[in-house]
């Protein structure tokens, strides 16, 4: 049966060949370990129990994790049963939560893995960490299993989303997906003692160089739609990990002037629940090594 898990709806039988996401039906993971580089309410002091899945429905040209998102032979193949064990191993390491990074193409395997882990003592919140390009129908299958949604909203401009991600309908699909995520988890809930998020929605926006105006459109849409009932994370960590002869603006980092202008704009329109990054985040060393740790 053809795959229609993501908005690409490539309709490819992934038992026979790879879908648009670059994966077959085998579950492939690049890394499973404690991760300290998420928002403070996600990683806490011990770290988020982060599982980096291979493949991606988007394939953005500037992808920071391209070694596992775009390379066919990346990662290690595991079973849903092994994934369930990994969740429990991360809990044993005092992870704050189980953080599923780029999980869309494996939702059919992730669902039974979560259920099995819950039955075997998993009590941590589940974080669904995604590029945002999701189908509402796929998200509905996760209702009651995911506690925290952590999507990107990369663009409003269809010209930019087509240019950089080959997805002209990115904003259309992602805005519907975020609405479904909010319907499921509602306004944020935090642990009063630790400050960690237990339930809720954080929308990330990684600013790209030379595209301040579209970034302003992103945060304006989020505030106009959700007010301060969600958190917005404004990221300046874009790093040119490859050379881009066809996209010259991507060959540099975001300037302090650009980033500060966006933060000032967020404050001016009334955003109160948000996160910002210091400049040190925009270095390649903040990109994890995907050598199969914990898999």
pLDDT at res. 6: 98
Give the Cα separation of 182 and 165 in Å (integer): 24
Main-chain dihedrals φ then ψ at residue 91, nearest 5 degrees? -65, -40
Domains along the chain with CATH numbers:
27-286 (3.20.20.70)
pLDDT at res. 280: 52
Which residue, among 49, 52, 77, has the nearest Cα to 65 in the 3D structure? 52
What angle do helix axes 107-119 and 80-92 make, rounded to 10 degrees?
50
**pLDDT of 112 over the 80 cut:** yes
Give the Cα separation of 112 and 119 in Å (integer): 10
Cβ atoms of 216 and 262 within 8 Å: the answer is yes
Q: Which range has the worst mean pLDDT, 72-76, 90-94, 120-124, 278-282? A: 278-282
Main-chain dihedrals φ then ψ at residue 240, nearest 5 degrees? -75, 85
Please report how many Cα atoms fall inside a 13 Å half-sphere around the Cα of residue 104, on the Cβ side: 32
pLDDT digits (tens, 9 = 90+) for 50-105: 999 999 999 999 998 888 988 777 899 999 999 999 999 999 999 999 999 999 99
Give the Cα separation of 270 and 259 in Å (integer): 17
Residues in the chain: 295
pLDDT at res. 294: 87
SS3 174: helix
Give the Cα separation of 260 and 236 in Å (integer): 10
Beta strands in the chain, from DSSP E residues, in sequence order: 27-35, 48-53, 76-78, 98-101, 126-130, 148-151, 189-190, 197-206, 231-235, 274-276
Give the Cα separation of 165 and 143 in Å (integer): 27
Beta bridge partners of 52: 31, 101
Give the Cα separation of 71 and 48 in Å (integer): 25
Provide CB contacts within 8 A for 285, sequence distance 6+: none
As a whole number, mean pLDDT of residues 188-212 equals 97
Q: What is the Cα Rg of the chain in Å?
A: 18
**pLDDT of 262 over the 80 cut:** yes
SS3 272: coil
CB atoms within 10 A of CB 259: 23
pLDDT at res. 64: 87
Give the Cα separation of 136 and 204 in Å (integer): 19
pLDDT at res. 291: 72
């Amino acid at each position: 049966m053809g795959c229609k898990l993501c908005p690409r709806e490539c309709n490819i039988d992934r038992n026979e060949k790879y879908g648009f996401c670059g994966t077959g039906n085998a579950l492939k993971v690049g890394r499973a370990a404690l991760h300290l580089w998420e928002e403070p309410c996600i990683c806490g002091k011990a770290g988020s129990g982060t599982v980096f899945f291979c493949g991606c429905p988007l394939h953005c040209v500037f992808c920071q994790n391209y070694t596992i998102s775009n390379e066919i032979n990346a990662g290690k193949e595991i079973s849903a049963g092994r994934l369930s064990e990994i969740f429990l191993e991360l809990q044993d390491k005092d992870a704050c939560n189980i953080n599923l990074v780029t999980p869309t193409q494996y939702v059919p395997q992730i669902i039974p893995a979560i259920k099995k882990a819950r039955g075997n003592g998993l009590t941590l919140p589940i974080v669904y960490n995604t590029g945002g390009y999701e189908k509402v129908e796929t998200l509905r299958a996760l209702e009651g299993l995911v506690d925290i949604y952590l999507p990107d909203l990369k663009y409003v401009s269809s010209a930019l989303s087509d240019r950089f991600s080959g997805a002209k309908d990115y904003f259309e699909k992602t805005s519907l997906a975020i609405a479904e995520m909010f319907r499921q988890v509602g306004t944020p809930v935090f642990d009063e003692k630790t400050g960690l998020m237990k339930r809720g929605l954080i929308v990330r926006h990684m600013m790209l160089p030379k595209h301040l105006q579209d970034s302003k459109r992103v945060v304006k849409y989020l505030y106009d739609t959700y007010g301060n009932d969600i958190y917005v994370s404004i990221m300046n960590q874009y790093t040119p990990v490859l050379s881009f002869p066809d996209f010259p603006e991507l060959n540099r980092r975001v300037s302090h002037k650009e980033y500060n202008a966006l933060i000032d704009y967020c404050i001016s329109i009334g955003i109160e629940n948000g996160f910002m990054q210091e400049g040190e985040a925009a270095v390649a060393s903040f990109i994890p090594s995907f050598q199969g740790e914990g898999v």
